[in-house]
Amino acid sequence: MTLARPVPVVLVHGSRTSRTMWRRQLEALDAAGVPVEAIELPGHGARRGEPFTLDGAVEAVHDGVRRAGGRALVVGLSLGGYLAIEHRARYPHESAGLVAASCSTSPASRLRAAWLLLARWIESWPDSGERLNDAFVARMLTAEAARDAGAGGFALDVMSAVLQEVGLTDPRTALAAAGSPVWIVNGRYDHFRGHERSMLRAARSSGAEAHLVVVPHARHLVSLDAPVAFNRVLLEAADAVTRREAARAAGVPEGRQPSSRSHALAPPTSAAEFGTITTSSPSRSRADAVMRRELPPPM
């Protein structure tokens, strides 16, 4: 099948950071010829000072998709992942696909109340937790990743509002509410992986094609920890939804449309970032050539 135009991608950043965290993904998508829009959430980056609400944040995603053409692959990390899931449920006609990264813990977790109290306490400090945030970034990220995460500034006064508003969501119910393909992506050592399998089942319960991808050696900020591996998943998803959308436009019945396990468009490669994993044919490399896939059977 000859592909016409790639499906646009909309990137939704995590809490406290900004759209600048997606630099490596923007470069990879641009190199592959995929249109991309990296949005800024209320209360973050260039929109610091605006109140953060769930409805306002989902509308920011909706506005980003509208600017991208009205239908897109929406990719979110952490907070952005929860918002991308919610957007897909509220605006299913806008979702060509979903990549939900680092957001596999239910907000209904009893730990959220403790995190909320902690966030409010830290926000009350004279520096709003700036030194603590700087120490965390320096410890958890490479110098390059830290620059990308912080280039738009850190929103240190928004975390309690984020926790409060995300608590209004139910990701598993939302995942079951739409039928576009889903990629759930987590770093192996992410502390927000606790409900990844039940979220996978929820996505599949609607009949959606859904995958769980676990990136070796990566932690919570998987796109910053392992950008090349993450980009391979991202580009595979972008290629897959483009094929599906082309088939949909051609009137191919849903059951006969291409599987989302298609060949990926190749991102820039770096053996150093792969560790011991290499690819002999980058132009036809599959995401599962550089990482272990975990695809439990439907339950």
Structure confidence by residue, pLDDT tens digits, 149-203: 999 999 999 999 999 999 999 999 999 999 999 999 999 999 889 999 999 999 9
Classify residue 59: in a domain, yes or no. yes
Sign of CA dihedral 101, 105, 111, 114: positive
Q: What's the domain count of the chain?
A: 1
Classify residue 197: in a domain, yes or no. yes
Residue-wise pLDDT tens digits, 78-94: 999 999 999 999 999 99
Classify residue 57: in a domain, yes or no. yes
Q: Binning pLDDT at 50, 70 and 90, where does residue 261 land?
A: low
Q: Binning pLDDT at 50, 70 and 90, where does residue 113 land?
A: confident
pLDDT score of 3 more than 80: no
Which domain does 140 fall in, by range?
9-289
Q: Binning pLDDT at 50, 70 and 90, where does residue 1 land?
A: very low
Classify residue 298: in a domain, yes or no. no
Mean pLDDT score of the chain: 86
What pLDDT sits at residue 179? 97
Residue appearing with tokens 């646009």: 8
Q: Binning pLDDT at 50, 70 and 90, where does residue 257 land?
A: low
What pLDDT sits at residue 228? 98
SS (H, E, C) the chain: CCCCCCCCEEEECCCCCCHHHHHHHHHHHHHCCCCEEECCCCCCHHHCCCCCCHHHHHHHHHHHHHHHCCCEEEEEECHHHHHHHHHHHHCHHHEEEEEEECCCCCCCCCHHHHHHHHHHHHHCCCCCCHHHHHHHHHHHCCHHHHHHHHCCCCCCCCHHHHHHHHCCCCHHHHHCCCCCCEEEEEECCCCCCCCHHHHHHHHHHCCCCEEEEEECCCCCCHHHHCHHHHHHHHHHHHHHHHHHHHHHHCCCCHHHCCCCCCCCCCCCCCHHHHCCCCCCCHHHCCHHHCCCECCCCCC
Report the side by side order of strands in the sheet with 72-77: 36-38, 9-12, 72-77, 95-101, 182-187, 210-215
pLDDT score of 282 more than 50: no
Whole-model pTM: value is: 0.85
Classify residue 120: in a domain, yes or no. yes
Classify residue 1: in a domain, yes or no. no
Classify residue 296: in a domain, yes or no. no
For residues 44-62, give the mean pLDDT: 98
Q: What's 236's domain CATH number? A: 3.40.50.1820
Classify residue 195: in a domain, yes or no. yes
